[in-house]
Amino acid sequence: MNLIMLGPPGAGKGTQAAMLAKRLGIPHVASGDLFREALQAKTELGLKAKSYMERGELVPDEVTIAMIRERLLQPDCDEGMILDGFPRTIEQAEALNGLLAEQGKTIEAALFIDAPEEELVRRLSSRWTCRKCQAVYNVISNPPRERGKCDVCGGELYQRIDDEPDTVRNRIRVYWDQTSPLIDQYRHEGLLTTIQSEGGIDHVHEKILSALRIA
């Protein structure tokens, strides 16, 4: 199963994509995580992406598409994958169709996870991320068992620089300008399912499973 998770920053795409990937036994391919790993490892890709990420802007399409192409060619994606944060522009969506077609694959569904804007800003400003495995926590609604420490791998939790309020607002603006046209495109292709991100993480997960008819 090849799935796309769409939605504004802070809607809970990453959390839900990780849960769904575990449930389906397929990889969770998150473009933001791949960029952050490259940034941390100070690779050429990381250096290219750094200034865009810090401003909450999109990394240029050619850089992003090349990175995703390499990831999708790895054998663990053979049985399917959950794409989180990619595609984010019409050009990326077209490139994705081309990449999948080359491998004889298609997209089965695009899940649009939505939440009101005040809620997005509130969630992102209280979000903490694991430096090692990228698991996310919310200090108010989903705190780690031990302060500052990841429940999954014991890694150190930190606040992403692009989760600061001004950058968050820019990321939401960028999302509306550049990514939201994809919602109409996938709706038009009959692939879109909209899920409201409310009622808690487990409840949203259940809604996703029932939308995908996974018992």
Is 88 among the residues known to form the active site? Answer: yes
At position 127, the amino acid (one-letter code) is R
Question: In whole angstroms, what is the distance from residue 165 CA to residue 169 CA?
Answer: 6
Catalytic residue of the set 13, 69, 105, 131: 13
Catalytic residue of the set 36, 71, 88, 123: 88
Q: In what order do the strands lie in the sheet with 2-6?
A: 28-30, 81-84, 2-6, 109-114, 192-196
Question: Does the footprint of ligand AMP cover residue 8 (CB under 6 A)?
Answer: no
Question: Does the footprint of ligand AMP cover residue 35 (CB under 6 A)?
Answer: yes
User: Residue 193 has which token pair?
Assistant: 């399912």
Q: Helices 61-72 and 31-40 sit at what angle, rounded to 10 degrees?
A: 100
Q: Write the DSSP string, 114-135.
A: E--HHHHHHHHHTEEEETTT--
Question: Does the footprint of ligand AMP cover residue 163 (CB under 6 A)?
Answer: no
Question: In whole angstroms, what is the distance from residue 46 CA to residue 103 CA?
Answer: 27
Question: Does the footprint of ligand AMP cover residue 186 (CB under 6 A)?
Answer: no
Q: Name which of residues 45 to 84 contact ligand AMP (CB under 6 A).
A: 52-53, 56-59, 64
Q: How far is CA 2 from CA 86, 152, 173, in A?
A: 12, 25, 28
Is 147 among the residues known to form the active site? Answer: no
Catalytic residue of the set 149, 160, 169, 187: 160
Is 171 among the residues known to form the active site? Answer: yes
**Out of 162, 168, 186, 192, the residue judged to bind ligand AMP by CB under 6 A:** 162
Question: Does the footprint of ligand AMP cover residue 88 (CB under 6 A)?
Answer: yes
Q: Which is nearer to ligand AMP, 62 or 108 (CB)?
A: 62
Binding site for ligand AMP (CB under 6 A): 9, 31-32, 35, 52-53, 56-59, 64, 85-86, 88, 92, 162, 171
Positions annotated as catalytic residues are 13, 88, 127, 160, 171
